[in-house]
Amino acid sequence: MRAPRRTPSRAALRRSRAARPWLLLTPALLVLAGLLLYPLVRVVVISLQDFSGLRAVARGTAEFIGLANYREVLDDRQLWLTVLPNTVVVALVAVVLTVVVGTLAALLLETLGTMARAATTIAILSAWAVPAVTGTYIWIWIFDPVDGLVSKAAQFLGLVPPGGENWFLDRVTFFTIVVLNVVHHGFPFVALTVLAGLLTIPTEMVEAAKLDGADAWRRFWSITVPMLRPVFAVVTILSTIWDFKVFTQVYLMPGGSGQNREVLNLGTWSYVESFGQTEYGTGSAIAVVLTVTLLLITGVYLRTLFREGEL
Amino acid sequence: MRDGAWRGVALLALWLFTLFPVAWMVMTALNPGATSGGAMPTGVTLENFRFVLEEGGFGRYLMNSALVAVGTVLASGLLALFAAVAVSRFQFRFRTSVLVMVLIVQMVPLEALVIPLFIQARNLQLLNSLLGLVVVYVAFSLPFAIWTLRGFVAAIPVDIEEAAYVDGASWTRMFFSILLPLVAPGLVATSVFSFITAWNEFVFALTFLADDSKYTVAIGLRNFFGQYGTNWGAVMAGSTLITIPVMVFFVLVQRKLTAGLVAGASKG
Report pLDDT digits (tens) over B91-145.
888 888 888 888 778 777 788 899 999 999 998 999 999 999 999 999 999 998 9
The proportion of chain B whose per-residue pLDDT surpasses 70, expressed as a percent, equals: 91
Is the pLDDT confidence value at A249 over 50? yes
Whether residues B39 and A25 touch (CB distance < 8 A) is answered with no
Task: Enumerate the domain spans of chain A.
Answer: 1-47, 50-307
Q: Find the residue in B nearest to A278 (Cα).
A: B115
User: Which residue in A123, A247, A302 is closest to B103 by CB distance?
Assistant: A302
| DSSP string across chain B | -HHHHHHHHHHHHHHHHHHHHHHHHHHHHT-GGGGGT--S-----SHHHHIIIIIS-HHHHHHHHHHHHHHHHHHHHHHHHHHHHHHHH---TTHHHHHHHHHHHHHS-GGGGHHHHHHHHHHTT-TT-HHHHHHHHHHHHHHHHHHHHHHHHHTS-HHHHHHHHHTT--HHHHIIIIIHHHHHHHHHHHHHHHHHHHHH--HHHHHH--SGGG--HHHHTTHHHHBTB--HHHHHHHHHHHHHHHHHHHHHHHHHHHHHHHHHHHH-
Whether residues A126 and B18 touch (CB distance < 8 A) is answered with yes
Whether residues B262 and A196 touch (CB distance < 8 A) is answered with yes
**pLDDT score of B13:** 95
- Please give the Cα distance from B188 to A189 (Å, whole number): 20
For residue A204, the distance in angstroms to the closest alpha carbon of chain B comes to: 22
For residue B158, the distance in angstroms to the closest alpha carbon of chain A comes to: 16
For residue A122, the distance in angstroms to the closest alpha carbon of chain B comes to: 7
Which of A194-198, A261-265, A306-310, B162-166 is predicted least confidently? A306-310
**pLDDT score of A5:** 43
**pLDDT score of B100:** 84
Instruction: Tell me what the pLDDT averaged over chain B comes to.
Output: 86
Q: Find the residue in B nearest to A240 (Cα).
A: B107
Residue from B3, B14, B16, B87 to probe the interface with A (highest A Cβ count within 10 Å): B14
Is the pLDDT confidence value at B32 over 90? no
Label residue A25 by pLDDT band (50, 70, 90). very high
User: Which residue in B90, B135, B202 is closest to A133 by CB distance?
Assistant: B202
User: Which residue in B21, B80, B100 is closest to A28 by CB distance?
Assistant: B80
- Please give the Cα distance from A143 to A168 (Å, whole number): 9
**What is the maximum span of chain A, computed from C-alpha positions, in angstroms?**
101
User: Which residue in A32, A60, A108 is closest to B11 by CB distance?
Assistant: A108
Is the pLDDT confidence value at B79 over 70? yes
For residue A294, the distance in angstroms to the closest alpha carbon of chain B comes to: 7
Q: Which of B253, B243, B245, B236 is closest to B27 using CA atoms?
A: B236
What angle (nearest 5°) sits at the alpha carbon of residue A304, between those of residues A228 and A199? 20
Whether residues B112 and A291 touch (CB distance < 8 A) is answered with yes
User: Which residue in B107, B143, B246 is closest to A241 by CB distance?
Assistant: B107
Is the pLDDT confidence value at A302 over 90? no
User: Which residue in B82, B218, B236 is closest to A28 by CB distance?
Assistant: B82
| Residues in chain A within 8 Å Cβ distance of B10 | 104, 108
Q: What is the pLDDT of residues B218-249, one digit of tens each?
A: 999 988 886 556 888 999 999 999 998 888 88
Mean pLDDT of A148-160: 85
Is the pLDDT confidence value at A67 over 50? yes
Greater pLDDT, A48 or B254 = A48
A119 Cα distance to chain centroid:
27
Examine the predicted complex and report whether its ipTM is higher than 0.90.
no
**pLDDT score of B265:** 42
Is the pLDDT confidence value at A14 over 80? no
Q: Which fold has domain A50-307?
A: MetI-like fold (1.10.3720)
Q: Which of A41, A48, A40 is closest to A71 using CA atoms?
A: A48
Task: Evaluate if pTM is beyond 0.95.
Answer: no
Residue from B61, B91, B111 to probe the interface with A (highest A Cβ count within 10 Å): B111
The CATH superfamily label for domain B57-267 reads: MetI-like (1.10.3720.10)
What is the sign, positive or negative, of the torsion defined by CA atoms of B225, B72, B195, A36?
negative
Q: Find the residue in B nearest to A15 (Cα).
A: B92
The proportion of chain A whose per-residue pLDDT surpasses 90, expressed as a percent, equals: 58
Is the pLDDT confidence value at A262 over 70? yes
- Please give the Cα distance from A192 to A109 (Å, whole number): 9
Mean pLDDT of B10-39: 88
Cβ atoms of residues A106 and A191 within 8 Å: yes
**pLDDT score of B133:** 95
For residue B54, the distance in angstroms to the closest alpha carbon of chain A comes to: 20
